[in-house]
Structure 1
Amino acid sequence: MSGLLIRLAGPLQSWGERSAFTPERDTAPFPTRSALIGMLAAAEGIGRGDARLEKYRELRLTVRVDRPGLRLIDYHTVGGGFPKDRTAATSGGSNKGAAVITRRHYLADAVFVVAVTAPDNTVERLANALSHPYWAPYLGRRSCPPDEPFLLRRHVDDPEEELRTQVPLSRTAPPQQETGKALTVEFLREQPPHHNDDAAPAFDVIEVNDEPVTFAQHGRGHTGRRLYRTVEPVSHHLTGPQHTLMQRLIDYAHTEEHP
């Protein structure tokens, strides 16, 4: 087993928790498994109606929350004031001229780093797809493209440990007077945490319903899973001045893993 590392950053992200269309288009506070699997499947050219999702069950996803972002709600209308043949239909099938009103939730200025752990051949396949995607990746909605660097590392022996100890943190370095304080970061894991160098940290268990069964447009299905949330100390060397962040990320992404 090995893995790869993906950085999810951009002006806006939206990780919907309900698959059906509703006037309130919500977002989870972190990337869902359904959205991440969908991103990988799209990069490999697998369409919504394709049943080949079983091969993604073996993936283990760990999310590091660099910045949780700020919740933003966009008041959005579609149609209204036009002739019937130019007006969007409502969920009831009517298009009598009334605008469809939705409130779309986003995370503004959020940053997450995702460790994808899988068998070596799967990691290589996914890395190739993300480097040359069939359909471009986006952060939950097509209007939310990711910043670069997106694919931080194509192959890491222990991607979860890499999150804790090596991947630059997209957060401003603490003030000088606080450098002695522990720098803590939130992690979301699919298995109870275990570290080789110290005792396992305390965790909260979160029940979510985002394991995709099918992405079919008119019959999407999901099942439940558990997440293990921790808040863990990380080294201050992962941070730095904000104006050097991009260079630190680029340097990390281009550093050979086995010099």
Structure 2
Amino acid sequence: MPGILMHLSGPLQSFGAHSHFTDRDTHDRPTRSALIGMLAAAQGRWRGTDLSDLRTLRFTIRTDRPGVRMVDFQTVGGGLPKDRSVPSANGDRKDEGKATVVTHRHYLTDAAFTIAVDGDPTLINAVTTALRAPRWPPYLGRRACPPAGPLLIASGLDDASAALALFPLHRCRPADASTVTVDIAHDDPPTGHSVRHRLRDDPESFDDYHRDWNVRAEYVTTLTLPAELCAGLGTDWINALASAQGLEATA
């Protein structure tokens, strides 16, 4: 099935899967909701727009670097007069001096993911065009988390999922190992593998007042790759990626 490769890396990423009120979690990797949302934003779709075509896309996610989890302690509304304090459930506002809301927001720091996107050729062409010139700026789960580089790293692939075993890894090569292992997350069940997670992240609608997600299964396998695929960081990674794309590498 034809497809593309996307790459997500940056100082911070956050992909909520089970967030509840003031505790905003993150999954170990990008969720379907986050990826479909990125593509919809790149195309300039408004919230509430039909997502049925984007929901047919299949994502296969390679974890180049899992990153480190970080929890940020935040407060909202402290020290404000009543008319500017945090809204309450009954439509009023919290009293002055009692308005502070405490939240814990979870992030992945220094993580990197390479993602195969497979689907209908016409749709793949449409999202490829959008990723080259996004209508709205992309972000990695939250608006405060911009990507460190372009999202689209390869297009026109006959089998994007198979390309995950060939494209450079965005990580440093180990000093004394000939192979490395990476996690691969699948939408569809690989033969002989059971469900790793059940996530409520398959979006029906992003409408502001009628957001809705379906529960789906996530399958995770482990892939062993040659250590020479580890391309390093910074310009080393950029040069390796350029070579993989058939471009002239320049530092």
Paired residues, what number?
243
Extract unaligned runs of 5+ from structure 1: 194-199
Q: Does the alignment pair 1:236 with 2:236?
A: no
User: What residue in structure 2 maps to residue 216 of structure 1?
Assistant: 207
**Residue aligned with 2:108, SS:** strand
What is the alpha-carbon distance in structure 2 between the residues aligned to residue 111 and residue 80 of structure 1?
Answer: 35
What's the CA shift string for 1:202-240, capped at 9, x where partnerless?
A: 634122221111111222111111222101111223113
Change (3 A) 1:253 1:89: farther
Matches within 5 A, 1:1-259: 1-18=1-18, 22-50=21-49, 52-91=50-89, 93=91, 94-97=93-96, 98-165=99-166, 167-175=167-175, 177-179=176-178, 182-193=179-190, 203-206=193-196, 207-242=198-233, 244-253=236-245, 255=247
What is the alpha-carbon distance in structure 2 between the residues aligned to residue 254 and residue 226 of structure 1?
Answer: 36
2:68/2:108 contact within 8 Å kept:
yes
Change (3 A) 1:75 1:14: same
Shift of 1:39: 0.8
> One-letter code of the match for 1:132?
A
What is the alpha-carbon distance in structure 2 between the residues aligned to residue 137 and residue 144 of structure 1?
Answer: 9
**Residue aligned with 1:209, SS:** strand
1:152/1:252 contact within 8 Å kept:
no
> One-letter code of the match for 1:2?
P
Change (3 A) 1:30 1:132: same
2:170/2:232 contact within 8 Å kept:
no
What's the CA shift string for 1:14-51, capped at 9, x where partnerless?
A: 001146x611011111100011111111111111222x
Shift of 1:132: 1.1
2:177/2:227 contact within 8 Å kept:
no
What's the CA shift string for 1:46-70, capped at 9, x where partnerless?
A: 11222x1111122111000111111
Change (3 A) 1:73 1:90: farther
Normalised TM-score (structure 1): 0.87
Change (3 A) 1:146 1:253: farther
Normalised TM-score (structure 2): 0.90
2:67/2:108 contact within 8 Å kept:
yes
1:6/1:114 contact within 8 Å kept:
yes
What is the alpha-carbon distance in structure 1 between the residues aligned to residue 148 and residue 156 of structure 2?
Answer: 20
What is the alpha-carbon distance in structure 1 between the residues aligned to residue 44 and residue 66 of structure 2?
Answer: 30
Shift of 1:85: 2.2
Change (3 A) 1:238 1:2: same
**Residue aligned with 1:173, SS:** coil
Extract unaligned runs of 5+ from structure 2: none
> One-letter code of the match for 1:76?
Q
2:56/2:119 contact within 8 Å kept:
yes
Q: CA RMSD in A?
A: 1.9
Using the aligned pairs only, state the percent identity: 42
Shift of 1:88: 2.8
